[in-house]
Amino acid sequence: VGSQRRETPIPTMIVRVRTNVGVWRVEGLDASSTTADVLSGIAATRPHVVYERPLSSDPGCARPLDPAVPLGRQNVGHGSMVHCRVDPGTCAENTADGGGESMDTDDSRDGRRPAGNTKRIIDKDGSIKLVHAEGSSSAGSDKGFRKGQKALRDMKMAWTLQEFTAMDDQYNFKIKRQDASFVGKGGVHLESSAVDGFQSYLRRFQFQQQRCGYLYGRFVDEEGDGDEEKDDGADKPAASSGWGARTPEEKKEAKKNARVVVEAIYEPPQEADADAAEGFVLLEDEAEEDVEALAGMLGLRRVGWIVGHPPREEGFQLSSAEVIMAAELQLESAGGVEPTPFVTVRVTVGDDGNVAVEAFQVSLQCMHMVAEEALGVGPNPGFCYVDETFTAIQEGKP
C-alpha cells in the first residue's frame, strides 16, 4: 500500500498571458514566482519571442509588473490575466514532433490538446480566429492517466491511494448551479443613449451581424446588512478536499455591489465574420490606451462588455464562445477566480421586432473551468465542450 504519510501539496497556479496574437497559458507557478518565471514558461514552448511591451497588469501595458516583486504581491493569482505585446513573426511554437506547417497559434498547454478541439489560426488577412479543429490526438497520449497527461510511472514510481485521488480530483468538476449573484438588488443600469448608439449598427444590418463593445461606468457599493446574501457555497472556487470531484469550498463572503451603472459603450475596431466562433474578429486597437486614460479621468472604469447577435431559438441565450469570453473578461476584471460585478450584456431582436437587452454573469465555477482551459468551443455553438483531459459531473453522471 505504501506509506500513509500525507504530503502537503505546494499550491500552484496558472497565469494567462494575453498578447496581440492570442492568449498563452503558463503553468507551474505559485505566489512566490516572478515575471522571470512567466517568461521562462513562455520560452519553453516559444523560445524566440521578442517582446515589444513588457508583462503588465493592464491591456495597454501602461502598468508593467515589477520583476523584483513576487506575483502574489502584485495581485496576480490563479487564473489571472497579464498583458504584453510581441513581435508576431517571433511567436512560432516549438512542437515536439516538428511535423506539419500549420499556422496554428493554439494556447500552449505543455503538449495537451487545445480545449474542446478548438484552435486559433492566422487567417489570410493576418487576423486571429478561434475555430473548431477536427484534430487527431498525438501518438502515445493514450498512455497517460488522463488524455494528454503523462503516465503515472513517468511522474512517480509509487503512489498511495490518497495521492492518486488528490491528483485526479484536480481534473474533475462537479457542476452546481450558482444561485447567488455577484451584483446586488440594484442590478445593471444602462444609459439608454449608449445602448441606442450600439444597436443602431445592428439595425443597419437587420441584426444579421454580430458586434461587441466594452461597457464603462461605475460599481456602486451597497451597505452590508448581513442577511442580503447567505452564500450556501453553491459555486465557489473549486478545491479538492478528500475524495471525489472538486466541489465548492467554503469561503468568507465578499462585499457585493448594489448595482452596475453603465455610462458609455466603446466599440473597439472589429470586423463581422460569420466563420469566427465569436461572430466577429477584434482588430488591433491603437486607441485602447487613450480610451482607458479618458475613462479614468472621467471617473469611469470597464464594468462589462456587450454583444449583439442575430435572433436565436428559445432558450439559446449565449453561445459557447460568448460564455468563454465572458469568463475570460470576468477573470481579468477580478484578477483571478474571484467574485466580480463585471457583467455581460446581450442585445438582440425578438420575433415581434422589439429589441431585447439582458444582463448575465458566469459563475465562479465557470470562471475556474475556463482558467483551467477545461471548456472549449465545438461545432454546436449552443454547447461548451469539455476538454478530454477533464471530467464534468452533473447530478452524479459524467
> 326-376: per-residue pLDDT in tens?
999 998 888 888 889 999 999 999 888 888 899 999 999 999 888 888 888
Q: Which of 108-112, 233-237, 247-251 has the highest mean pLDDT?
A: 247-251
Q: Are 11 and 31 in contact (CB under 8 A)?
A: yes
Q: Are 241 and 249 in contact (CB under 8 A)?
A: yes
Q: How far apart are the first and last CA of the chain?
A: 29
| Torsion sign across C-alpha atoms 252, 78, 322, 376 | negative
d(CA 359, CA 79): 23
Q: Are 201 and 211 in contact (CB under 8 A)?
A: yes
Q: Which amino acid is residue 283, in one-letter code? A: L
Q: Are 308 and 202 in contact (CB under 8 A)?
A: yes
Mean of pLDDT over the chain: 77
Q: Collapsing DSSP states into helix, strand and coil, what is residue 57?
A: coil
C-alpha cell belonging to residue 81? 490575466
Q: Which of 119-133, 147-161, 356-370 has the highest mean pLDDT?
A: 356-370
d(CA 201, CA 196): 9
Find all residues with CB under 8 Å of 340, minimum gap 6, and list them.
182, 330, 333, 334
d(CA 336, CA 80): 4
Name residue, grid cell 469570453. 325
> 170-186: per-residue pLDDT in tens?
888 888 888 888 888 78
pLDDT band at residue 232 using 50, 70 and 90 as cut-offs? very low
pLDDT confidence of residue 360: 92
pLDDT confidence of residue 24: 84
The DSSP code sequence of 135-185 is PPPPTTGGGSSSTTS--HHHH-S---HHHHHHHHGGGEEE-----S-SEEE
Q: Are 119 and 133 in contact (CB under 8 A)?
A: yes
> 282-295: per-residue pLDDT in tens?
888 889 889 999 99
d(CA 169, CA 159): 15
C-alpha cell belonging to residue 233? 457555497
pLDDT band at residue 39 using 50, 70 and 90 as cut-offs? very high
Q: Which amino acid is residue 269, in one-letter code? A: P
- pTM, rounded to two decimals: 0.65
> Above pLDDT 70, what percent of the chain?
75
Helix axes 364-371, 320-334, angle to 10 degrees: 90
Taking 90 as the threshold, does the pLDDT of residue 86 lie above it?
no
